Amino acid sequence: MKKREFLKYCSLLAGAMISGKSIAAIAEPVKTITPMKRKSTTMKLRFIPYELKLKHVFTLATSSRTTTPVVLTEIEYDGKKGFGEASMPPYLGESYDTATKFLSQVNLEQFKDPFLIEDIVAYLDGIQPGNYAAKASVDIALHDLVGKLIGKPWFRLWGLDPGKTPFTSFTIGIDTPEVVRQKVAEAEPYKILKVKLGLGNDREMIETIRSVSDKPICVDVNQGWKDRNYALEMANWLKENNVAFLEQPMPKTMIDDIAWLTENSPIPVVADEALQTIDDLLPMKGVYSAINIKLMKCGGMNAAYKMATLAREMGMKVMIGCMTETSCAISAAAQLSPLAHWADLDGNLLISNDCYEGVTVIDGRITLNERPGIGITEKIKMFRD
Amino acid sequence: MKKREFLKYCSLLAGAMISGKSIAAIAEPVKTITPMKRKSTTMKLRFIPYELKLKHVFTLATSSRTTTPVVLTEIEYDGKKGFGEASMPPYLGESYDTATKFLSQVNLEQFKDPFLIEDIVAYLDGIQPGNYAAKASVDIALHDLVGKLIGKPWFRLWGLDPGKTPFTSFTIGIDTPEVVRQKVAEAEPYKILKVKLGLGNDREMIETIRSVSDKPICVDVNQGWKDRNYALEMANWLKENNVAFLEQPMPKTMIDDIAWLTENSPIPVVADEALQTIDDLLPMKGVYSAINIKLMKCGGMNAAYKMATLAREMGMKVMIGCMTETSCAISAAAQLSPLAHWADLDGNLLISNDCYEGVTVIDGRITLNERPGIGITEKIKMFRD
């Protein structure tokens, strides 16, 4: 218990490099004379807190902020390193504290090899309920590692066509008309704009964007509307304004109202807050017409792939979304994107201190690369050798 | 059209080696002087009919036979070869004729590489409805090829634990008490016996087996019972006789009766004939408690993996079954078996002319190997270089 508390303290020191299993590394010098790398044949998990700096103040229906806390992870095995990330926007209930506490409990050394993904994911799920971002940070690092051991990116291992990635939307936050116009100009390379509504200035936001751009828009209300008649009236008005779909228009608890809206809306209604993990998926049928899958909600790539596949079999459309994240988690999500009808993978584009390079957006479209694993390289070395 | 007819004729000559795209190979000598293999950077599909010889007459509720027609496939790409198989027991409606006709239409050269599994499977589905065994023969060869290109077996690529394979059952066909006893003795290495019922001697079959063995039994009625009260009475009696589950007790069209049986039965009720492809899966919820997935029913490994994953998410149990098949299709199905609660993968053990070596059964349990792809080697060379 004492050891765990000390670990927690260490992990909160910005930039400190710690091991989930041993604190010995912290006392070691950064450089050693031995040029040979010691190859570990057990999996070693390390993690480190990192604060993402947002280019713009980020305003949702319920909060606004200028930073996002993330925890970066690394799993080393047999001379290869896989990278992962937990992004923890405060409204989702995870934090440096909870993630560090969770990751300190993870013992990957008990698994013979990283290929046992199903067992490892089941083990993570069993440690503690919730903590989906923390779980995703291990799941992503594990997938990155396995892809590197195999020498293939995950979209290849899933048999997906890199030519079938969707356009990604670019989020225009709620702001003054002047700032909104400036952001729309900034979003020039993107083919679809995403707008957060639900703060009372719904029509004004859309009209401001429409005064400078006729690009398709997708709308995320983040549960902001409380009246189904207003929601349907808006859905009809949004359709006239070339809005492609409507995400989480009302509180997730208003199931009957949402099902009624979905039945009557001229544009698809997408579940976001209503859907956390794969266990929530089956009841979505008939209530929403599409789901928004996010690695940080569902626990990682393993669950996200299953959710996308299952939702498609259920006849629902699939959106792949994100939090504010580095190119690590964004590139991980992008591996799935050929399975998605829409992508909202702009989280890395909204920050100024991305420490990874990964998938890119070319002509508004997610563009995968052939790097193994999740397809990233380090821009800034976050974990020492 | 003339070319296709000629191709069809050629493919029906036992032992003839033909290409789906070109008949030139048939005129070439079997051995050439050039020791260098030409590497093809397009996918070349070849296929050949083969007749499996059964060790025992195989009796179902509706038919009996001593052979099973299969078509063996090979896809060559970049110096690697993947093997596949279509098994076509006559009651399922496919034949040498239909499979050859289907495979003659398959043009894999249009795909840039074999990793585009989702696109290729969608293309196969689009050629013609049905023909699931023929589709599976391409899907399996494709998976074998991709696994070989990567250098990993599929259970690894799916993140599955080879330590979690189930026991496989060994089928005891309907026969005289004397022959049944002899077969039970033959099944000595197996921990679970499978019995086909539904021919009027149900209790006699079970009692005959119970007179020589107390191993758990699983029962397949192949839609043989027509009365739900009899079915429930039998289910209770079978439970007392250590029967683990009851497969397709009544005709698949008797949905309400089967749902009633499932609700009242003390042992799980498994869908077999009721479930062909992944499209049939969602309506199974509440009707059956488990599904029997067979590669030849659903079109191959891609669909089977998704069905197993989806069924587990639906809270159903999963059985992985087979037709009479060589070790090729059996080993392909076995890759999935760590996802299954029960396996019935004895198809290769019931034939006397298996041309492949693959997964084995050790102490009654499916035992995977680390060979890449589907884990097989050729015992008899069926396709010349």
Ordered by start, the domain boundaries in chain A are: 44-151, 156-378
In sequence order, what are the residues at sequence separation of 6 or more whose Cβ sits closer than 8 angstroms to the Cβ of residue A107? Answer: A20, A21
Distance from CA of A13 to the nearest CA of B (A): 35
Q: What is the CA radius of gyration of chain A?
A: 21
Q: Is A314 on the interface with B (CB under 8 A)?
A: yes
Give the homologous superfamily in CATH for domain B44-151.
Answer: Enolase-like, N-terminal domain (3.30.390.10)
Q: Is A127 on the interface with B (CB under 8 A)?
A: no
A117 to B281: CB separation less than 8 angstroms, yes or no: no
Residue of A52 and B15 predicted with greater confidence: A52
The whole-angstrom distance between residue B20's C-alpha and the CA centroid of its chain comes to 23
The end-to-end CA distance of chain A, in Å, is 28
Residue A285: strand pairing partners: A288
Q: Residue A177: exposed, middle, or buried by beta-carbon count in 10 A (0-12, 13-18, 19+)? A: middle
Across A33-153, where does the E strand assignment appear?
A: 44-59, 64-77, 80-87
Q: Is B309 on the interface with A (CB under 8 A)?
A: yes
From A121, A279, A306, residue closest to B309, measured CB to CB: A306
The count of CB pairs under 8 A between chains A and B is: 62
Within 10 Å of residue A141's Cβ, how many Cβ atoms? Answer: 31
B150 to A157: CB separation less than 8 angstroms, yes or no: yes
Q: State the residue for tokens 């980020």.
A: A58
User: What is the band of B39 on the pLDDT scale with cuts at 50, 70, 90?
Assistant: low
A150 to B150: CB separation less than 8 angstroms, yes or no: yes
H helical segments located in A241-273: 255-264
From B146, B161, B306, residue closest to A116, measured CB to CB: B161
Q: Which amino acid is at A73?
A: T
For chain A, the residue count is 385
Distance from CA of A149 to the nearest CA of B (A): 10
| pLDDT above 90 (res B23) | no
Phi, psi (degrees; rounded to nearest 5) at B308: -65, -45
Helices and strands per DSSP (H, E), number in chain A: 13, 16
User: What is the band of B19 on the pLDDT scale with cuts at 50, 70, 90?
Assistant: very low
Percent of the residues in chain A that have a pLDDT greater than 90, as a whole number: 77
Q: Which amino acid is at A74?
A: E
250-279 of B, contacting A, C-beta below 8 A:
278-279
Interatomic CA distance for residues A263 and A276, integer angstroms: 22
Pairing between β-strand B217-220 and β-strand B192-196 as defined by DSSP bridges = parallel
What integer is the mean pLDDT of B165-190? 86
Q: Residue B310: exposed, middle, or buried by beta-carbon count in 10 A (0-12, 13-18, 19+)? A: buried
Interatomic CA distance for residues A358 and A331, integer angstroms: 6
Half-sphere exposure of A125 toward its Cβ, with a 13 Å CA cutoff?
A: 15
Interatomic CA distance for residues A167 and A13, integer angstroms: 38
The end-to-end CA distance of chain B, in Å, is 28
| pLDDT above 60 (res A12) | no
| pLDDT above 90 (res B50) | yes
Supply B202's token pair. 């149900």
Tell me the C-alpha to C-alpha distance, in Å, between residue B129 and each of A221, A255, A375, B106, B253.
42, 38, 37, 13, 21
Which one, of A170, A159, A78, A37, lies nearest residue B158 by Cα?
A159
Contact B357, B379 (CB under 8 A): yes
Q: What is the pLDDT of residue B7?
A: 39
- Per-residue pLDDT tens digits for B223-249: 999 999 999 999 999 999 999 999 999
Q: Which residues in chain A touch residue B119, judged by CB atoms under 8 angstroms apart?
A: 161, 164
Q: Is B152 on the interface with A (CB under 8 A)?
A: yes
Which one, of B104, B45, B100, B102, lies nearest residue B70 by Cα?
B100
From A157, A281, A314, residue closest to B157, measured CB to CB: A157
Within 10 Å of residue A200's Cβ, how many Cβ atoms? Answer: 11
Interatomic CA distance for residues A202 and A196, integer angstroms: 9
Interatomic CA distance for residues A128 and B17, integer angstroms: 57
Interatomic CA distance for residues B1 and B11, integer angstroms: 15
* Mean pLDDT of chain B, nearest integer: 89
Interatomic CA distance for residues B281 and A57, integer angstroms: 46
A115 to B159: CB separation less than 8 angstroms, yes or no: yes
| Same CATH fold assignment for domains A44-151 and A156-378 | no
Q: What is the pLDDT of residue B62?
A: 64
Q: Is A281 on the interface with B (CB under 8 A)?
A: yes
Q: What is the pLDDT of residue B61?
A: 56
Interatomic CA distance for residues A333 and A344, integer angstroms: 10
| pLDDT above 90 (res B255) | yes
From B117, B152, B314, residue closest to A159, measured CB to CB: B117
- Considering the four listed CATH numbers 3.40.50.620, 3.10.100.10, 3.40.50.300, 3.20.20.120, the one that applies to the domain covering B156-378 is 3.20.20.120
Contact B196, B61 (CB under 8 A): yes
In sequence order, what are the residues at sequence separation of 6 or more whose Cβ sits closer than 8 angstroms to the Cβ of residue B264? Answer: B232, B235
Within 10 Å of residue A273's Cβ, how many Cβ atoms? Answer: 18
| pLDDT above 60 (res B263) | yes
